[in-house]
A and B are shown apart, each in its own frame.
Chain A
Amino acid sequence: MRVFDWIVQLMGIALALAAAPVFLGWVNQCRAWLQNKSAPSILQPYRGIRKLFHKDAVIAQNASRLFRLAPYVVFGAMVTAAAVIPSIATRLPITRAADAIALVGLLATARVFLSLAAMDIGTAFGTLGARREMMVGFLAEPALLVVIFVVSLTSATTALPIIAERLAGQSLVLNPSLAFTAVAFTMVLLAENARIPVDNPATHLELTMIHEALLLEYSARHLALMEWAAALKLFNYACIGFAVFIPWGIATSDAPLGLTLSVMLLGVKLTVAGAGLAFIETVSAKLRVFRAPEFLATAFLLAVLGLLVRLLLGE
């Protein structure tokens, strides 16, 4: 059934590409509701991307080739990551090919290219954004890695699909170390995706912005790809969380029934997670940029505590 596996794999990637903007739209919609605003349509991110693809790209005179290349690299990295993460099925060719550490490397590649491209033009905002992005990145990455190490210890492997399979097969136990790491992972997710305690996704041209400052010089199709990649990143992080912490329902064989069920369950998980994310963003205030390291140090601390508690208490 090799051919069928590849078909499922391609379907999974297509699903990620299609679902990511909808997921982002859902989070935005929930947030607007929670803030008593009239919500934009759930398809709004799609409309934005479509509009951008129809425009002519404007590029600064002193932009190097790196600047044009970066959107494709970032988008490509995110699509590859989406293929690596076992979002609907675990027995897929590309999903089996890379482990969680390679995945973190893939995400880091995207970040490096994003930051380099932002510095390439030489505007003050771009450089500022790039520096902040790298600051957040270098603090968030160890926390993410420790989170992965904890679940790797529990399941004796660093390959995400096998982690998902083993954890799904485990009987339900109260596991303090996994609870700690789940909280740590949520904090990393918020920081890495420029969500509220660290960055505000709803503002342009503010001195505290991180993500928007990186994209300031991009327009048209480049900007569309970058926006799409950002939506995919959020989707990918959510899927990593599902695979590690709530892996039940991810298809372990390629029976069509299991796959259908898995896709439906993914939809349910995404709906709940999106609402939860919007809730966190609504109840918390944006931190000062200088407090961001403290936030991420807490995430790191929680993850390491999870690791230590797991070593001490066993199970």
Chain B
Amino acid sequence: MKALPWDLQLLNTLAALLLLLSFAMLSQRRIVALVNLLALQGALLFIATLLLAWRTGDINLYLSAGLTLGLKVIFLPWLLHRLIRRLGVYWDTEPLLNITGTMLVGLLVVIFSFGLAQPIAALASTATRNSIGIAVAVILIAFLTMITRRKAMSQVVGFLSMENGLFFGAMSATYGMPMVVELGVALDVLVAMLVLGVFFFQIREQFDSLDLKNFETLKEDQ
């Protein structure tokens, strides 16, 4: 059995931890903890990007590592925490499916995405191609988080976690997206977050809560 170089071992471990954090987010009921988990996921992503940048010597990856640190570890969690405080939403209601059930569905999703990623990984030539499966799994679990939650706040956290997964997928498949695209995506996420922040207040003003089940009935039906 030939041992991998230590930086690849560390990258694999980080990938596995990212997946674990996705599951932690899937099972978390408290929104504050959910945001902290998101920040932690961003931090892991930052370390992974930095490690990969060091390994490949790619200057663009250093830049996107800095972007990850600034945006996903510091700014967005800070913004979300501020929103939580001002809106006073600390708990999500019980998710649509109970936690154990959601976790089992999550496992199936992981198996599905590992199978899905196998042909892609066979085509890729990067050293980190094995983690593509994990990236796909992180994206789909973030989807699942969005599907099973009722409050707008946790859905947004799920959305941001999905972006983390996409970023990690691009990183492990092709050592990151072109810088222009990456900057564009970062800007998109930032603007979306700011707009959604304003949107939360509008939703609350209209319905007195952030529960999205209010959206399911049309005005005429009431």
Contact = CB atoms under 8 A, between A and B. Distances in A.
Interface string A146-185: 0000000000000000000000001101111101100000
Contact of B19 (A171, A309, A315): A309
A314 B133 CA distance: 13
A308 interface: yes
Nearest to A139: B100
Contacts of A297: 99-100, 103-104
A176 B16 contact: yes
Interface string A280-307: 0000000000000110011001101100
A311 B104 CA distance: 18
A31 B103 CA distance: 33
A313 interface: yes
A170 B16 CA distance: 21
A312 interface: yes
Interface stretch (B3-11, B50-58, B144-152, B203-211): B3-11
Residue among B1, B16, B133 with most chain A CB within 10 A? B16
Interface stretch (B70-78, B106-114, B174-182, B192-200): B106-114
Given A305-B19, A312-B134, A314-B130, A176 B103 contact: no
A65 B114 CA distance: 53
Contacts of A293: 100
A308 B99 contact: no
Contacts of A311: 114
Interface residues of A, number: 24
A315 B15 CA distance: 14
Q: B interface, how many residues as a size bin?
A: 20 to 34
B133 A173 contact: no
Nearest to B103: A301
Interface in B45-81: none
B110 A308 contact: yes
B14 to A, nearest CB: 9
Nearest to A302: B20
Nearest to A172: B3
B107 A304 contact: yes
B133 A312 contact: yes
Contacts of A173: 3-4, 9
Contact of A305 (B1, B3, B20, B100): B20
Residue among A173, A293, A314 with most chain B CB within 10 A? A173
B16 A177 contact: yes
A136 to B, nearest CB: 14
B99 A294 contact: yes
Interface in B6-49: 6, 9-10, 12-13, 15-17, 19-20, 23, 27
B131 interface: yes
Nearest to A177: B16
B10 A174 contact: yes
A315 to B, nearest CB: 6
Nearest to A174: B9
Given A301-B23, A308-B114, A309-B19, A176 B107 contact: no
B107 A179 contact: no
B169 to A, nearest CB: 14
B130 A312 contact: yes
Contacts of A170: 1
Given A174-B13, A298-B27, A305-B23, A315 B103 contact: no
B100 A174 contact: no
Contacts of B107: 301, 304-305, 308
A311 B15 CA distance: 14
A148 to B, nearest CB: 18
15 contacts: A174-B12, A175-B9, A180-B20, A302-B20, A304-B107, A305-B19, A305-B107, A308-B107, A308-B111, A309-B16, A309-B19, A312-B133, A313-B131, A314-B130, A315-B9
Given A174-B6, A294-B100, A305-B20, 4 more contacts: A179-B13, A294-B99, A297-B104, A301-B23
4 A-B pairs with the lowest CB-CB distances in the bound complex, closest first? A176-B16, A174-B9, A297-B100, A176-B13
